[in-house]
């Protein structure tokens, strides 16, 4: 084990020890954790609206009902880009019976104030609600994305106004870039971050520790993407579990270890891939997730030995 892996493992183990009560073996409903300084408590697995795309409305209704009634899931995340609006249209009626006891997060890729306002209003209509619990800048990929959102006439003007008007309660962002995430955290007191916490990325690319460390320091709620991702598809591999554009973790044991690693970094909740089969694999694994220890980390490292990290980050070392 090299120096970086040792540091990452030690940090994960230390955090896991402090979080042990929330990660103890559990039956349904899923455990809940506080979302940063908001005081909200979310189930440790959230349902991403992409899961519902391509499904008849009756199936979408059953999926949401099962998530809420059998597993106590109260965190739902969606975006207008998921299925060109289909995810919002399916989730709206499916979530309607449970809306007042759920935490609904939505996003926008619009970077200007007018576009963000129009998309916010359309999303509220599709989702049959008059407010979002969390509204996020979606997919910050670059420093230019951040600058555009914060420029005069940028999307952040709409975000702050919508919060003042009661259309949204909390503000956050999602990112797949270390540089963009760090810049966004420095520019505004966001309530949450939605970011990849993935074993291969964390230990091999140093992708995530600096972002998650700063988010914890600022008291932000940490929500997780790509925990159930092994990495890029190997050349010639058959792509399975659409719409996954990466190689997903499909094995139940490996899923549990991957979720344990992500949750042991101080995260509140993980959002599984947008595939219904993998979503339920994640839910079942989360119900029995235990804190990450040295033995579990070594097992996860063996299972993901051949993984190709999904993103790259230039180390400062």
206 occurs within a structural domain: yes
β partners of residue 213: none
Predicted structure pTM score: 0.89
Report the C-alpha gap between 72 and 85 in whole angstroms.
26
Residue 138 near residue 107 (C-beta atoms within 8 A): yes
Q: Are strands 41-43 and 32-34 parallel, antiparallel or unpaired?
A: antiparallel
Nearest to 123 by CA among 172, 160, 85, 93: 85
Contact 71, 29 (CB under 8 A): yes
On whether residue 60 sits in a domain, the answer given is yes
Q: Is residue 316 situated within a structural domain?
A: no
Question: What tokens appear for 124 in the block?
Answer: 């509220």
Buried b (16+ CB within 10 A) or exposed e, 118-143: ebbeebbebbebeebbbbbbbbbeee
**Residue 308 domain flag:** no
Look at residue 314 and tell me if it is in a domain: no
In contact, 113 and 155? CB cutoff 8 Å: yes
Q: By C-alpha distance, which of 5, 28, 70 is closest to 204?
A: 5
CATH of the domain at 275: 3.20.20.100
* Residue 197 located in a structural domain: yes
E strands, the chain, are 32-34, 41-43, 47-48, 75-77, 103-108, 132-140, 168-175, 192-196, 221-225, 229-231, 247-248, 269-270
Residue 37 maps to a domain? yes
**What contacts 233, CB < 8 A, 6 or more positions away?**
239, 246, 247
pLDDT of residue 313: 82
Q: Which domain holds residue 88?
A: 3-227+243-303
Q: Which of 152, 150, 80, 154 minimizes the C-alpha distance to 113? A: 154
Q: What are the CB-based long-range contacts (under 8 Å, 24+) for 88-92?
A: 88/49, 88/123, 88/126, 88/127, 89/126, 90/49, 90/52, 90/53, 90/55, 90/57, 90/60, 91/49, 91/52, 91/60, 91/64, 91/127, 92/126, 92/127, 92/128, 92/129
Q: What share of the chain is helix, strand, coil (3-state, %, to 5)?
A: 50, 15, 35
Question: Helix, strand, or coil here: 270?
Answer: strand
Work out how many domains the chain is built from and give that number.
Answer: 1
pLDDT, position 27: 46
| Consecutive 10-residue averages of pLDDT for the chain (317 residues) | 38 37 52 97 98 97 98 98 96 98 98 98 98 98 97 98 98 97 98 96 95 98 96 90 92 96 97 97 96 95 92 63
Does a structural domain hold residue 313? Answer: no
């Amino acid at each position: 084990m090299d120096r970086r892996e040792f540091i990452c493992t030690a940090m994960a183990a230390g955090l896991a020890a402090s979080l042990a009560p929330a990660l103890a073996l559990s039956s349904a409903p899923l455990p809940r954790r506080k979302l940063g300084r908001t005081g909200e408590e979310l189930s440790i697995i959230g349902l991403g609206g992409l899961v519902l795309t391509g499904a008849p409305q009756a199936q979408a209704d059953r999926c949401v009902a099962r998530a809420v009634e059998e597993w106590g899931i109260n965190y739902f995340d969606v975006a207008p880009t998921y299925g060109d609006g289909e995810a919002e249209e399916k989730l709206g009626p499916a979530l309607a019976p449970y809306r007042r006891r759920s935490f609904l997060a939505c996003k926008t890729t619009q970077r200007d104030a007018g576009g963000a306002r129009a998309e916010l209003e359309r999303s509220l209509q599709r989702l049959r609600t008059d407010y979002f619990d969390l509204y996020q800048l979606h997919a910050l990929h670059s420093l230019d994305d951040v600058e555009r959102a914060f420029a005069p006439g940028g999307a952040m003007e709409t975000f702050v106004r919508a919060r003042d008007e009661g259309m949204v309660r909390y503000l956050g962002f999602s990112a797949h870039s270390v540089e963009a995430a760090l810049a966004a955290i420095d520019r505004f007191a966001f309530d949450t971050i939605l970011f990849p916490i993935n074993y291969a990325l964390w230990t091999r690319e140093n992708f995530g520790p600096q972002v998650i460390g700063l988010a914890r320091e600022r008291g932000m709620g940490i929500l997780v993407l790509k925990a159930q991702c092994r990495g890029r598809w190997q050349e010639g591999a058959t792509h399975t579990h659409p719409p996954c554009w990466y190689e997903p973790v499909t094995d139940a044991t490996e899923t549990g270890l991957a979720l344990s690693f992500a949750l042991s970094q101080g995260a509140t909740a993980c959002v599984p891939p947008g595939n219904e089969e993998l979503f339920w694999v994640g839910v079942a694994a989360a119900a029995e997730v235990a804190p990450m220890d040295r033995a579990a980390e070594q097992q996860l490292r063996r299972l993901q030995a051949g993984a190709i990290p999904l993103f790259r980050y230039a180390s400062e070392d």
